[in-house]
Amino acid sequence: MGRLRVFVVEDEVLLALSLEDDLREAGFSMLGPYTTLANALQASRHESFDLALLDVNLHGEAVFPLADELIARNVPIVLLTGYGAADLPERYRALPRLQKPYEPTILVRQLRRTVGMG
What percent of the chain has pLDDT above 70?
98
CB environment 60-92: b (16+ within 10 A), e (fewer)? eeebbebbeebbeeebbbbbbbeeeeeebeeeb
Whether 49 contacts 5, CB under 8 Å = yes
> What's the rounded Cα separation, in Å, for the pair 45 and 84?
29
Separation CA 50–CA 68 (nearest Å): 16
Average pLDDT value for the chain:
95
pLDDT at 45 over 90: yes
pLDDT tier, 65 (very low <50, low <70, confident <90, very high otherwise)? very high
Q: Half-sphere exposure (CA, 13 Å, Cβ side) for 75?
A: 25
Task: Check whether 8 has a pLDDT greater than 80.
Answer: yes
Cα–Cα distance measured from residue 110 to residue 118, given in angstroms and rounded to the nearest whole number = 8
Here the CATH number for the domain that contains residue 73 is 3.40.50.2300
Number of domains in the chain: 1
| pLDDT for position 83 | 86
**Percent of the chain at pLDDT exceeding 90:** 91
Give the model's pLDDT for residue 41.
98
For residue 66, give its domain range: 5-114
